[in-house]
Amino acid sequence: MPAITRQSLMTLEAYARERKQFRTGVIAHKRTRTLHLGEHVTLLFEDELTMRYQVQEMLRIERIFEEEGIQDELDTYNPLIPDGSNWKATLLVEYEDLVERARMLGRLKGIENCIWMQVGGHTRITPIADEDLERQNETKTSTVHFLRYELTGAMIASLRTGAVLGAGVDHPAYQAEVAAVPEPLRRSLLADLS
């Protein structure tokens, strides 16, 4: 998977002109890379396009146009792009009601380690979570976590020959399972692997 480079970014002026159309395309792309696990847990699988959008938005919001600032954003977001043997995802824990959210974030400590993926015929893969910083404390977990799923060569080969890809959550306070991820997502995730 290619990294975001300075050359792949639009200038602030060009982004201002293209933002609406670019954003529409990214939102459509994200729909094919989103997996809901029950009512309250969502995985958004990141790639070069989703991260380039994040960088462009940060540059726009912060009005960053100097090379050093741009490089800082690239250094922050490039590690969140899959590198050929893995998938990288943003985990979102979503509860609209504030009281319920507070209660559940206390009960869901450790959920980031319980979101599994499974290539048919292989053992479940659990993620390496929050490599950038700790996202929970003694009393609660965060609503956002960053996950990395490492696949073996055998798993990748099985996916290429049509193996089913399943996913789920196995946490004492929350369980969900998708026996087979939707085919557009499966194809998109397969494209992340070399």
Mean pLDDT of the chain: 94
Closest CA to 145 of 126, 129, 127: 129
Distance of alpha carbon 190 from alpha carbon 74, whole angstroms: 24
The label of the residue with tokens 């700790």 reads 134
Q: What pLDDT is stored for residue 135 in this prediction?
A: 59
Q: What average pLDDT does range 32-46 have in this prediction?
A: 98
Question: What is the CA 191 to chain-centroid distance, rounded?
Answer: 15
C-alpha distance from residue 32 to each of 19, 74, 125, 150 (Å): 20, 24, 21, 21
Angle CA 129–130–136, to nearest 5: 105
61-77 per-position pLDDT tens digit: 999 889 899 999 999 89
Q: Find the helix or strand (DSSP H, E) in which 53 lies.
A: helix 48-62
Say which amino acid occupies 91. Answer: L
Mean pLDDT of 100-112: 95
- When pLDDT is cut at 50, 70 and 90, the band that residue 133 belongs to is low
DSSP code for 63 = T
**pLDDT per residue as tens digits for the range 163-180:** 999 999 999 999 999 999
